[in-house]
């Protein structure tokens, strides 16, 4: 079907209202514009109105806090609807006016021109698993912040833990031995300890649930394959499964690397080539777990007993990929740090980028 017979619909959504702009074919101005509510009644009216349009209807809106229910309902009604990455939407440098109506118009025009980056819309089951892993990540961040608050509180009052390893049983015994005479300080200490313990219990609950989900037939094989790589255990593997879903939708490894935001930015002109920091225009959750896993490759490349056990039940192709990762990534980490005097943090990010390539290769082995 040619573009002049397609109806392009740009939508700017928020919690209560959906601003709609409709372009028929290559018209320069919207053929119709209106606002609809985001409740069930508003979405039904939107579907009825779009179905009256002549020709094929294609809708688009930016991913955001409203999630994917609108896209699912439109697709169920037989209307094509794509969700795009807002961080990759082209912006005019001189445009200083932003309204919902203008955003809907811009999305419609850019969608028609093919300038938007479409993301995969997960099904409800995939989104539930993604919410589970992200909720676990939120609790882990809360725990870190609460631990820091407790440490800073004790430091302000002259209590410093001299040993290196913190939050061990010995560290907790030291904290509980502290006693303040002032009743206000006693309350602060007790509530700070309670907050840390609460986050720890929440984290244990999430970890246990993720372990249960990882053992289900739908995910067990995928998780097992990713765990053949060093630095990737159940939590990390489930994060990869939840965030990236089927890696076969990426045609090449660089495409998957780019989706994590781990590729370097570039500002080149003429013969002058300049690369800068990583773009960070991708999935931040994937990026975080990949960088965490990359730190394991600063150690020797010989896999330990636990890693060998995880590889025992995997296919020869998966084990070969994992062994190649052991050699290449360990060599790269030490080359960057020892030969090129890069900071270990920079080396970890570079290794994480290549680790994403090995994860992509294992993802291609899925049945």
Say if residue 230's pLDDT is above 60.
Answer: yes
Average pLDDT of span 75-104: 90
User: Are 114 and 12 members of one domain?
Assistant: yes
User: Are 59 and 132 members of one domain?
Assistant: no
- Rounded to two decimals, what is the model's pTM? 0.89
Whether residue 102 lies inside any domain: the answer is yes
Work out the number of other CB atoms within 10 angstroms of the CB of residue 343.
10
Whether residue 145 lies inside any domain: the answer is yes
Average pLDDT of span 276-304: 92
- Cβ pair 38, 13 in contact under 8 A: yes
> Closest Cα to residue 126, out of 242, 211, 222, 223?
242
pLDDT of residue 87: 81
Residue 82's SS3 state is strand
pLDDT of residue 4: 63
pLDDT of residue 71: 96
Express each pLDDT in 118-134 by its tens digit: 999 999 999 999 999 99
Phi, psi values for residue 226, rounded to 5° = -65, -30
C-alpha to C-alpha distances, 14 to 44, 61, 100, 289, nearest whole angstrom: 17, 10, 9, 30
Distance CA 83, CA 248 (A): 19
User: Are 67 and 146 members of one domain?
Assistant: no
Of the listed ranges 12-16, 201-205, 299-303, the one predicted with least confidence: 299-303
C-alpha to C-alpha distances, 300 to 206, 216, 295, 334, nearest whole angstrom: 32, 33, 11, 10
Q: What's the chain's average pLDDT?
A: 93
How would you list the strands of the sheet with 56-62, edge to edge? 32-37, 17-24, 6-13, 56-62, 80-84, 118-119
Distance CA 258, CA 264 (A): 9
Residues in the chain: 367
Whether residue 228 lies inside any domain: the answer is no
Express each pLDDT in 165-191 by its tens digit: 899 999 999 999 999 999 999 999 999
Whether residue 168 lies inside any domain: the answer is yes
- The pLDDT confidence band at residue 55, using thresholds 50, 70 and 90, is confident
Whether residue 233 lies inside any domain: the answer is no
pLDDT of residue 276: 82
Say if residue 365's pLDDT is above 90.
Answer: no
Whether residue 226 lies inside any domain: the answer is no
Average pLDDT of span 225-254: 94
Of the listed ranges 173-177, 194-198, 221-225, 243-247, the one predicted with least confidence: 243-247
Rounded to an integer, what is the distance from CA 354 to the centroid of its chain? 17
Q: Which of 119, 152, 168 is the last residue of a domain?
A: 119
pLDDT of residue 210: 98
- H/E element, 19: strand 17-24
The tokens describing 292, both together, are: 């965490």
First to last CA, the chain: 34
Say if residue 366's pLDDT is above 70.
Answer: no
- Cβ pair 231, 293 in contact under 8 A: yes
The tokens describing 233, both together, are: 């255990």
Name all contacts of 145-148 with Cβ < 8 Å and 24+ positions apart: 146/192, 146/195, 146/196, 146/199, 147/196
Say if residue 2's pLDDT is above 60.
Answer: no
Average pLDDT of span 231-253: 94
Distance CA 11, CA 80 (A): 13
Whether residue 220 lies inside any domain: the answer is no
Whether residue 151 lies inside any domain: the answer is yes
Could you tell me the CATH number of the domain that includes residue 42?
A: 3.30.420.10
Q: Which of 119, 153, 168 is the last residue of a domain?
A: 119
Number of domains in the chain: 3
Q: Are strands 6-13 and 56-62 parallel, antiparallel or unpaired?
A: parallel
Distance CA 178, CA 332 (A): 46
Say if residue 43's pLDDT is above 50.
Answer: yes
pLDDT of residue 1: 46
Q: Which of 214, 235, 253 is the last residue of a domain?
A: 214
- The pLDDT confidence band at residue 91, using thresholds 50, 70 and 90, is confident
User: Are 249 and 206 members of one domain?
Assistant: no
User: Are 251 and 333 members of one domain?
Assistant: yes
Residue 357, domain extent:
243-267+281-363
């Amino acid at each position: 079907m040619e573009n002049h017979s397609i109806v392009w619909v740009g939508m700017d959504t928020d919690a209560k209202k959906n601003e709609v702009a409709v372009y028929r074919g290559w018209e320069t101005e919207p053929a119709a514009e209106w606002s609809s509510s985001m409740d069930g009644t508003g979405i039904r009216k939107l579907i009825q109105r779009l179905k009256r349009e002549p020709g094929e209807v294609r809708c688009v809106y930016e991913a955001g806090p409203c999630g994917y229910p609108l896209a699912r309902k439109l697709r169920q009604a037989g209307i094509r609807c794509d969700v795009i990455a807002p961080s990759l939407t082209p912006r005019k440098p001189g445009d200083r006016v932003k309204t919902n109506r203008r955003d809907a118009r811009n999305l419609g025009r850019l969608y028609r021109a093919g300038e938007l980056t479409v993301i995969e819309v997960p099904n409800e089951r995939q989104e539930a698993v993604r919410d589970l892993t992200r909720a676990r990540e939120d609790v882990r961040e809360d725990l870190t912040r609460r631990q820091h608050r407790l440490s800073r509180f004790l430091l302000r009052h002259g209590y410093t833990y001299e040993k290196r390893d913190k939050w061990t049983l010995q560290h907790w015994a030291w904290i509980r031995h502290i006693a303040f005479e002032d009743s206000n300080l006693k309350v602060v200490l007790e509530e700070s300890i309670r907050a840390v313990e609460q986050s720890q219990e929440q984290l244990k609950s999430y970890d246990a649930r993720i372990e249960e989900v990882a053992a289900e037939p739908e995910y067990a094989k995928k998780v097992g394959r990713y765990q053949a790589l060093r630095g990737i255990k159940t939590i990390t593997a489930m994060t990869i499964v939840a965030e990236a879903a089927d890696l076969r939708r990426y045609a090449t490894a660089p495409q998957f690397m780019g989706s994590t935001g781990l590729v370097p930015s570039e500002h080149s002109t003429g013969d002058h080539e300049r690369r800068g920091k990583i773009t960070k225009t991708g999935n931040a959750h994937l990026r975080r777990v990949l960088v965490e896993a990359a730190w394991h490759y600063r150690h020797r490349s010989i896999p330990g007993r636990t890693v060998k056990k995880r590889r025992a039940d995997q296919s020869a192709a998966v084990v070969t990929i994992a062994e190649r990762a052991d050699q290449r990534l360990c060599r790269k980490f030490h080359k960057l740090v020892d030969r090129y005097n890069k900071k270990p943090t920079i080396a970890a990010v570079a290794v994480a980028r290549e680790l994403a390539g090995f994860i992509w290769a294992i993802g291609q082995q899925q049945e």
